């Protein structure tokens, strides 16, 4: 337990260091970030000093607790500068949780006139949250066997990963690729006409699939076909498995079933919606293809940028975007959502079950990446989707109870749970934000974002009596 406290102390120290860097780079908001640095850094130092850096007594239950507390502590730390600046505690926590979980939902308006120090802080939260989730998704969730994630060890343990002799080397390789993609994206954005500041901050929120922008019009502020196609490409890059990047970089195969499934899904949906938009609005073919490609990729990768209010494209488009909110990117990427791997396994499990019903004596197996999928993985998968649906229903009911209309409540619940950002409708759609909903609804969505980013079961296990009996038994 002492190790859990120690790591949380280090998290606070890390965020305090980021605040110091922000103060150094942006003098206009330096007093805000220096004061926040003291508020966060001092408790962090105290926690680190009174606890132990040894993980000798760390057990599986502690790992669940560590994962959840670290992410929540990061959100709280990220909220402190925003509160010191001018935001209420609820709004600051919402903005910070949305940033660190790379959701991208915002309560802020007037972004174009906002201090650069605040805009950079929001981008930094998403950049940190993006790489943090890659490490969580690859190194921790498979070990905890959350929602069938143990199968990801099969995909991540190809020849390339076997040559990486430790988790530290793997984390280093991930950071290098992540930083390299951000740098490349920023260079392309700069070449496309963005200012240096916009290029850097938008590169950070593109590769992290976070979607925070320094403009109220989101990415639609940049009326450039080149920039929109570039962003479409880099959003997709952020939603691909980073273990796949490492494997390819070390000469391994490009083949990945979940990557293939996501690309196929995107292609089909983009073609369908492009035809629909052309017929519905009379938009020129190339313009329709660009607008549809950008916004579909943005939602599926859970980035949440928008170039236009796609809810004006008609009921079919609205329904399609609502469904796409739950899809998500690839496992082991920065993206949220249910993940392509899970949807692929679910479809194969259903197919196997139908075949078994048709031919009772036939032995039907589910396979992924050439290997047989064990029954415990399928059970974890079904449990995940059941809990996902139940959590979505509960969040939706709570939001309607708090006064939101059904469309806003359901799309808000889903976009928070899937860490996408914009919802559907005039209030929280791509042309709106979350500023007008009440504080209780905002806190409900904060919980939804937190649950969604940590794959639900990682957090929900903390409310079970058995978990706390194990924790207290270890302490006694």
Asked whether residue 419 is marked as a ligand-binding residue, the answer is yes
CA distance 177 to 130: 12
Asked whether residue 103 is marked as a ligand-binding residue, the answer is yes
Query: Which residues are CB-contacts of 147 (< 8 A; sequence separation ≥ 6)?
Result: 141, 342, 380, 381, 383, 384, 455, 456, 457
Collapsed DSSP state (helix, strand, coil) of residue 272: helix
Strand partners, 372: 367
Query: Which residues are CB-contacts of 171 (< 8 A; sequence separation ≥ 6)?
Result: 135, 139
Query: Which residues are CB-contacts of 438 (< 8 A; sequence separation ≥ 6)?
Result: 402, 403
Asked whether residue 102 is marked as a ligand-binding residue, the answer is yes
Q: Pairing between strand 367-368 and 371-372? A: antiparallel
Asked whether residue 307 is marked as a ligand-binding residue, the answer is no
8-state DSSP, 458: H
Backbone phi and psi for residue 122, each to the nearest 5 degrees, phi listed first: -60, -45
Backbone phi and psi for residue 58, each to the nearest 5 degrees, phi listed first: -70, 130
Helix (H) or strand (E) holding 475: helix 465-475
Asked whether residue 101 is marked as a ligand-binding residue, the answer is no
Helix (H) or strand (E) holding 151: none
CA distance 44 to 50: 10
283: left (phi over 0), alpha (psi -120 to 50) or beta: beta
Helices 30-50 + 116-135 axis angle, to 10: 30
8-state DSSP, 25: H
Tell the burial category of 241 from Cβ atoms under 10 Å away from its Cβ (0-12, 13-18, 19+).
buried
Query: Which residues are CB-contacts of 375 (< 8 A; sequence separation ≥ 6)?
Result: none
Name the binding residues: 102-103, 210, 302-303, 419-420
Name the binding residues for K(+): 102-103, 210, 302-303, 419-420
């Amino acid at each position: 337990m002492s190790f859990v406290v120690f790591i949380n102390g280090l998290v606070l120290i890390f965020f305090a260091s980021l605040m110091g860097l922000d103060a150094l780079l942006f003098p206009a908001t330096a007093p805000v970030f220096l004061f926040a640095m003291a508020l966060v850094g001092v408790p962090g130092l105290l926690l680190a000093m009174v606890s132990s850096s040894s993980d000798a007594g760390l057990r599986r239950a502690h790992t669940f607790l560590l994962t959840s507390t670290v992410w929540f502590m990061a959100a709280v730390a990220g909220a402190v500068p925003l509160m010191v600046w001018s935001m209420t505690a609820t709004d600051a926590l919402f903005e910070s949780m949305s940033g660190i979980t790379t959701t991208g939902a915002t309560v802020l308006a007037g972004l174009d006139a906002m201090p650069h120090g605040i805009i950079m802080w929001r981008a930094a939260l998403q950049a940190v949250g993006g790489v943090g989730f890659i490490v969580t998704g690859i190194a921790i969730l498979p070990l905890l066997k959350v929602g069938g994630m143990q199968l990801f060890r099969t995909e991540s343990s190809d020849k390339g990963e076997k040559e990486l002799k430790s988790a530290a080397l793997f984390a280093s390789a991930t950071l290098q690729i992540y930083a390299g993609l951000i740098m490349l994206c920023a260079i392309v954005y700069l070449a496309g006409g963005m200012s240096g500041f916009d290029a850097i901050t938008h590169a950070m929120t593109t590769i992290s699939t976070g979607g925070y922008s320094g403009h109220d019009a989101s990415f639609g502020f940049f009326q450039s076909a080149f920039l929109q196609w570039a962003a479409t490409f880099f959003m997709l890059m952020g939603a691909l498995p980073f273990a796949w990047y490492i494997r390819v970089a070390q000469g391994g195969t490009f083949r990945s079933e979940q990557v293939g499934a996501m690309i196929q899904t995107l292609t089909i949906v983009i073609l369908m919606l492009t035809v629909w938009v052309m017929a519905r609005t009379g938009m020129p073919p190339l313009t329709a293809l660009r607008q549809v490609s950008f916004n579909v990729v943005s939602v599926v990768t859970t980035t949440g940028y928008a170039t236009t209010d796609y809810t004006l494209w008609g009921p079919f488009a609205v329904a399609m975007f609502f469904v796409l909110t739950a899809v998500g990117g690839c496992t082991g990427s920065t993206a949220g959502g249910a993940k392509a791997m899970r949807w692929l396994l679910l479809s194969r499990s259903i197919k196997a079950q139908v075949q078994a019903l048709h031919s009772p004596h036939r032995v039907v197996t589910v396979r992924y990446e050439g290997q047989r999928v064990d029954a415990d993985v399928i059970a974890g998968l079904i449990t995940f989707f059941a809990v996902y649906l139940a959590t979505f229903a509960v969040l939706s009911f709570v939001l309607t109870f708090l006064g939101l209309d059904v469309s806003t409540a359901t799309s808000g619940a889903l976009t928070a749970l899937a860490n996408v950002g914009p919802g559907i409708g005039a209030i929280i759609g791509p042309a709106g934000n979350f500023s007008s909903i009440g504080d209780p609804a905002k806190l409900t969505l904060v919980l939804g974002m937190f649950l969604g980013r940590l794959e639900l079961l990682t957090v929900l296990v903390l409310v079970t009596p058995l978990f706390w009996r194990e924790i207290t038994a270890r302490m006694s």
